[in-house]
Chain A
Amino acid sequence: MAKVLVFIDNPGASLKKSSLELLTLARSLGGSTVALNGDLSDGVAATLAEYGVGNILRPSAQDLDDFLVAPKAAYVAAAAEASGAGIVLLDNSPEGKEIAARVGIRLNAGVITDVVAVDGDGTAHKSVLAGSYSTACKATTPVSVLTLKANNVIPEPAPAPTTPETATVDVPAVAAAARITAREQKVASGRPDLTDARIVVAGGRGMDGDFGPVEELADALGAAVGASRAATDAGWISHDAQVGQTGKTVSPQLYISAGISGAIQQKAGMQTSQVIVAVNKDAESPVFEIADFGIIGDVFDVLPQAAAEIKKRKG
């Protein structure tokens, strides 16, 4: 069994579902150590114990958040060396992938992103070319660095909790890094994050400037809101919501596409979703070629009716 290091960045008061997925996968591969950045709250410490973490490492430096990724990568690489990890696991966020990239160079280790499953021998599975191929790949180096896509592991606490030991890791100096001089928090929507949501409702050109019905259906389902590039470029919704090749790639259990034609750029971002539902007035829309359930109809009739019906059934 390999020693596995999991990087968790600024968890706050409780661990995100994607972190629990990392911890569950790590335990299936071997003994796990967590390299934490940020405060270790009581809630997080209790969850780490529940998930069978053997050791918790913390950085000697407190200012990692003041710089872009380079010092975090130096810390994670040092933590991997200190713990003797054969596998380093990170989340698949843009920052997770960048840290992984630099950790790979620091450790002379192969990096594999967008991983959906890992075998006992370290072979990682991922899909490439917009979901058209499933591949099995492996680092050829003693250490491998993997970033795990959300929603592919079911979080499960360990059979018996552990009592993790805590230690400090010296963060090596980094020659040059970009400094973060200002940070504006965005207003929290209260909805799940698009990249790790179990359900996504996405709207496109057909929403004609009004995302109300998309948001209403998303809230009835507890879903995240997504959008096509046409909708974000038109300014109907924040660019953060963009799903597609130049936006976010999502693979939820359910993807509802509303008023989106399904051009290849958009399809590239969502076709690994387990179930696809499409609502569009135009029967010729390419999205109907890949939808499990398609409705030729007006989004302003179908979405509110579905939202009302869900609320009724949920009582």
Chain B
Amino acid sequence: MKIVVLVKHVPDAQFDRHLNGAGNTVDRDESILSELDEYALEAALQLAEARGGSKAGNQVIALSMGPSGAVNAVKKALQMGATEGVHVTDDALAGSDAAATSLALAAAVRHLGGVDLVLTGMASTDGETSLVPAQLAERLGLPQVTFASTLEVDGGRLTARRDADTSSETVEAPLPAVVSVTDQINEPRYPNFKGIIAAKRKSITTLSLADIGVDPAQVGFAGSWTSVASAEQRPPRTAGTIITDEGDAGIKLVDFLAAQKLL
């Protein structure tokens, strides 16, 4: 099987994150592999391992689009066990919204050729829009299975389960397909020493927009279909009244709710 996993280099959500520059884009210093993408990578590794791994010709390709630092997300994926890495990078990509991102990623997937499955996380932890997997499927004309909490592949078909608020669904689709997975699907592995050493020998292919046949005018600020006109940092929330329970805190809570007209 040839599986492409989309991995994104995002600012660590444990720290304060910032927008800056004329286009109000995310400051990408202090970035890491998006936590939610680790579940997609783990799902890909398990599918490949169940089929005899790389020795049996299974490929798990970690694909990232982004500035030079984004190669770190690919490296982490290689350490976890991806067989090869692809980094799409070009100055013209800066400022791409979901539509422009999905355009470039679709071109990269086509460029790789013969892909059976594209796996992604349920959302990035920076933009958090969840738009890219569905847009990628629409652009590639492939079936889309989003928010999968289980995933099985048998022959040329996949079966997945999705949980919605009021129902759980079982879905089936022929391959090739685009699948996004939730954090319920597995427990991602940590890279071990062997994996870290092995990753140093794996190749990372760098692709420019010209390599994947994308016109720079279709991506970046110029090619995006949305723009951020202004961004204001919200004042951080400040602590209000704090009391220690002296046997009547439940009543004081109700007094507070009544005063706020919330009852």
- Residues in A with CB closer than 8 Å to B19 are 128-129, 133, 135
B166→A134 contact, CB < 8 A: no
For A178, the chain B residues whose CB sits under 8 A away are 143-145, 160, 171-173, 177
By a CB distance below 8 angstroms, the chain A residues around B233 are: 132-133
Given the contacts A184-B168, A301-B245, A104 and B250 also touching, CB distance less than 8 Å: no
Q: Which residues of A contact B165 (CB under 8 A)?
A: 93, 186, 193-195, 240
B134, A98: Cβ atoms under 8 Å?
A: yes
Bound-state Cα–Cα, A175 to B176, Å:
12
Contacts of A276 in B (CB 8 A): 237
Q: How far is the CB of A243 from chain B (nearest CB, A)?
A: 13
A 122-137 binary contact with B (CB < 8 Å = 1; else 0)? 0100011111111111
Docked pose: A277 CA to B239 CA in angstroms: 10
| With A104-B131, A105-B138, A296-B243 as contacts: A130 and B13 at CB distance below 8 Å | yes
B126 and A129 within 8 A (CB): yes
Docked Cα-Cα span, A177 to B178, in Å, equals 10
Kindly state whether residue A207 has any CB partner on chain B within 8 Å: no
Most A CB atoms within 10 A — which of B16, B19, B228, B236?
B228
Within 8 A of A (CB), among B142-178: 142-147, 159-160, 162-174, 177
B168-A176 in contact (CB<8A): no
Binds A, one of B72-80, B204-212, B255-263: B255-263
Cβ-defined contact, B126 with A277, below 8 A: no
> Is A48's CB within 8 Å of the partner chain B?
no
The answer to the question of A83 belonging to the interface, with a C-beta cut-off of 8 Å to chain B, is no
Q: Are B144 and A288 in contact (CB under 8 A)?
A: no
Cβ of B146 and Cβ of A94 under 8 Å apart?
Answer: yes
Asked if A104 and B231 make an inter-chain contact with CB atoms under 8 angstroms apart, the answer reads no
Q: B98 and A101: CB pair below 8 A?
A: yes
User: Is B239 a contact of A101 with CB atoms below 8 Å?
Assistant: no
List chain A residues, Cβ under 8 A from B186. none
Known: A69-B144, A97-B130. A180 touches B245 (CB 8 A): no
Q: Pick 24 A–B contacts, CB within 8 A, sort by A.
A: A69-B134, A97-B131, A100-B131, A101-B134, A104-B135, A110-B99, A127-B234, A129-B17, A134-B232, A135-B231, A136-B229, A141-B225, A176-B177, A178-B160, A178-B172, A179-B173, A186-B166, A264-B13, A277-B256, A288-B239, A293-B242, A293-B243, A294-B242, A297-B249
Interface of A toward B, CB cutoff 8 Å: 68-70, 73, 93-95, 97-98, 100-102, 104-106, 108-114, 123, 127-141, 144, 175-186, 188, 193-195, 199, 221, 239-240, 245-246, 253-254, 264-265, 268, 271, 275-277, 279, 283, 288-298, 301-310, 313-314
